[in-house]
Amino acid sequence: MSQAPPAEPKLKGAALIADEVKRLPDKPGVYRMLGAEAEVLYVGKAKNLKKRVVQYAQGRFHTNRIAHMVAQTEAMEFITTRTEADALLLESNMIKRLKPRFNVVLRDDKSFPEILIRRDHPAPQIRKHRGAHDTSGDYFGPFASTWAVNRTVNILQKAFLLRSCSDSVYAARTRPCMLHQIKRCSAPCVDLISLEGYRELVEEAHDFLTGKSRKVMTKLSDEMTALSDEMEFERAARVRDRIRALSSISMEQGINPQTLDEADVFALFAEGGQACVQVFFFRAGQNWGNRAYFPRVDRADEDADILDAFLGQFYEDRPIPRLILVSHEVPNAELLSEAFGIKSGRKVEIAKPLRGEKKGLLDHALTNAREALGRRMAEGSAQAKLLQGVCEAFGLEAPPERIEVYDNSHVMGTNAVGGMIVAGPDGFQKNQYRKFNIKDAETTPGDDYGMMREVMRRRFGRLVKEEEEGETPIRPDLVLIDGGLGQLAAAREVLENLGLDDIVAIGVAKGPDRDAGREHFFRPGQPPFMLEPKDPVLYYLQRLRDEAHRFAIGAHRTRRSMDIKKNPLDEIEGVGPGRKRALLHAFGSARGVSRADLPDLMKVEGVSEALAQRIHGYFRKS
């Protein structure tokens, strides 16, 4: 009986890449290198896939890191594109989504807050906005922080008297609200200003936010002068206050360039295998704030290459200005400009200024980047020592990269919420925080153990499901439970049922009289223990527990506030938005509706006798 020929050895590394090159086209596209577990090691783009990928097979590498990456490659995937610019856009999208180990990766990708002037209502509303542009209106941004956008919205309300209330509040008003009393709204809801006059205010705000501030200020100044000449001193004083509000924006923003209308400024500073990119946003000739980013880099990465990769990922899902100023000459400046032009539908320039005001702005941003990286490196050194201390205190195999801390909050079992915070080498990772509204009907109100079981079941049940579907969710190295043996046992029960008993879970309980500093720590199968009262690791664990407590209480208060504000009319069958608006107009509030008699309810437009009886009965049920 003849034996089957032995299977050919599986190719990997440079040999695999050389074999793939034989079938590659001379076209632009994106390539992915995959490891033993099909994890993405690296994503790259090429003007010519064949010529680019063959370089990896030839073994001539600039750094040991690239050689290590090639050696680990066990599969490759390719996507051809129409142009190199399309390949760059696709590469940036994949890097941001997949976060490959060997790429420069932008780690903080939270969306920026913006100002929105809604155009889908007769009296446009001004408000803070974050996320997709799915509401009809004018968007202005980005602002570097929520604080910056809140401050600007407040000033614009004072200057242009635009409403910020929701449509339902607007429809229900029968008299001016407090914002009108403190001169921050012109009260179109009760016709203290005509819709035509209100729209003029909206257009003035639009002009100011699009860089026509001088035109707006001149118009207001002329109006104040005319009112003074007509002896209308009270009205002139109101216009004066609006001018002062607009002037305060310039005074508070510090750096306001004279030659720059719309631009983003990027300054990179790298040291010791870490990098900081400081980004300043200038819109309408005004400084709208700055933010520091710390991309994941390698010691061998060149500064210009880091900034090049950063720009592509940064604008993957953000508005692109006409001008981008950079601290280094990026290798793909022309290609990035072309790709950004395709995305934004207008010409985009990337430049490194050498003199003048723009150079001064870059120098200022670079100083900020250097100082921010210095602070981060100092904090990181201290953080590494603390995590090593946690490792030793709890007998872990290595310092934890991801710590999850859980706490619950409720009042007599109502509005119960579970909170999860995440910490690691970079400190608190607030974009990873999660809240869990307790909603299992089988959980007894006020049952802390039952609530903990529900939270853990939902968090780790999802993790198991994602792993079964072939995804790679991040597992925690350490789970801290705010509570004693009971809460810890509830959490361990869920982990064991899900086959995750290898995850270390520790209970943290306050000592006698709930004194901070006398915490007891509980581990399964071992007696509880305490840390030395002045041990820095104890202070660190206290901060983690306090942050979880703060987050859980905040989530509970938000949920309780929403319940308090809930309008009882929403619970009555047959009362939709139109009838609700009519009822509130007729009686002023839900309490007024609750006191109304049947005949009065039936007089409201759209309310039939049957519905009036249903409303009347709802408010009089025992």
User: Do 236 and 306 lie in a common domain?
Assistant: no
Q: Could you give the dihedral angle defined by the CA atoms of residues 600, 604, 608 and 612, in that order, rounded to the nearest 10 degrees?
A: -40
- pLDDT computed for residue 402 by the predictor: 93
User: Do 447 and 510 lie in a common domain?
Assistant: yes
Phi/psi of residue 316, nearest 5 degrees? -60, -35
- Say how far apart CA 601 and CA 620 lie, in whole Å: 14
Residue 82 lies in a domain: yes
- Say how far apart CA 508 and CA 84 lie, in whole Å: 54
User: Do 94 and 123 lie in a common domain?
Assistant: no
pLDDT at 60 over 80: no
Report helix, strand or coil for 551. Answer: helix
Q: How confident is the model at residue 433 (pLDDT cuts 50, 70, 90)?
A: very high
Residue 397 lies in a domain: no
Token representation of residue 81:
């594109």
User: What's the CATH number where 515 sits?
Assistant: 3.30.420.340
- pLDDT computed for residue 252 by the predictor: 45
- pLDDT computed for residue 213 by the predictor: 66
Q: Could you give the dihedral angle defined by the CA atoms of residues 450, 456, 458 and 460, in that order, rounded to the nearest 10 degrees?
A: -160
The pTM is what? 0.60
Q: What percent of the chain has pLDDT over 70?
A: 91
- Say how far apart CA 304 and CA 123 lie, in whole Å: 48
**Cis peptide, bond prior to residue 142, ω within 30 of zero:** yes
- pLDDT computed for residue 622 by the predictor: 40
3-state secondary structure 307-336: HHHHHHHHCCCCCCCCEEEECCCCCCHHHH
User: Do 543 and 487 lie in a common domain?
Assistant: yes
Residue 389 lies in a domain: no
Token representation of residue 119:
């155009």
For strands 504-509 and 478-482, give the pairing: parallel
Contact between 416 and 557 (Cβ < 8 Å): no
Number of domains into which the chain is organized: 5
- pLDDT computed for residue 439 by the predictor: 78
Residue 458 lies in a domain: yes
Residue where a domain terminates, one of 253, 282, 306: 253
pLDDT tens readout for residues 463-485:
988 888 777 788 899 999 988 88
Phi/psi of residue 537, nearest 5 degrees? -65, -40
Tell me which DSSP letter residue 185 carries. -
User: Do 464 and 501 lie in a common domain?
Assistant: yes
User: Do 85 and 164 lie in a common domain?
Assistant: no
Residue 235 lies in a domain: yes
- pLDDT computed for residue 253 by the predictor: 47
pLDDT tens readout for residues 179-202:
888 888 989 999 898 999 999 889
- pLDDT computed for residue 510 by the predictor: 78
What is the average per-residue pLDDT within 116-122? Answer: 89
User: Do 121 and 212 lie in a common domain?
Assistant: yes
Count CB atoms within 10 A of the CB of residue 384.
12
Element housing 283 (H / E): strand 274-283
What integer best gives the mean pLDDT of the chain?
Answer: 83
- Say how far apart CA 67 and CA 60 lie, in whole Å: 9
Residue 388 lies in a domain: no
Contact between 503 and 495 (Cβ < 8 Å): yes
User: What's the CATH number where 50 sits?
Assistant: 3.40.1440.10
User: Do 215 and 319 lie in a common domain?
Assistant: no
Residue 3 lies in a domain: no
Q: How confident is the model at residue 256 (pLDDT cuts 50, 70, 90)?
A: low
DSSP lists the bridge partners of residue 435 as 419
User: Do 235 and 214 lie in a common domain?
Assistant: yes
User: Do 247 and 305 lie in a common domain?
Assistant: no
Phi/psi of residue 611, nearest 5 degrees? -70, -40
Nearest to 100 by CA among 60, 66, 123: 66
- Say how far apart CA 408 and CA 396 lie, in whole Å: 26
Q: Provide the residue range defining the domain that includes 208.
A: 114-253
Residue where a domain terminates, one of 517, 538, 563: 563
What is the average per-residue pLDDT within 602-612? Answer: 88
Residue 601 lies in a domain: yes
pLDDT tens readout for residues 492-515:
999 999 888 889 999 998 765 555
Nearest to 213 by CA among 157, 292, 284, 127: 284
Rg of the chain in Å (alpha carbons): 30
Under 8 Å CB-to-CB from 559, ≥6 apart: which residues? 415, 417, 437
- pLDDT computed for residue 254 by the predictor: 46
The residue whose two tokens read 């604080």 is 147
User: Do 555 and 587 lie in a common domain?
Assistant: no
User: Do 367 and 329 lie in a common domain?
Assistant: yes
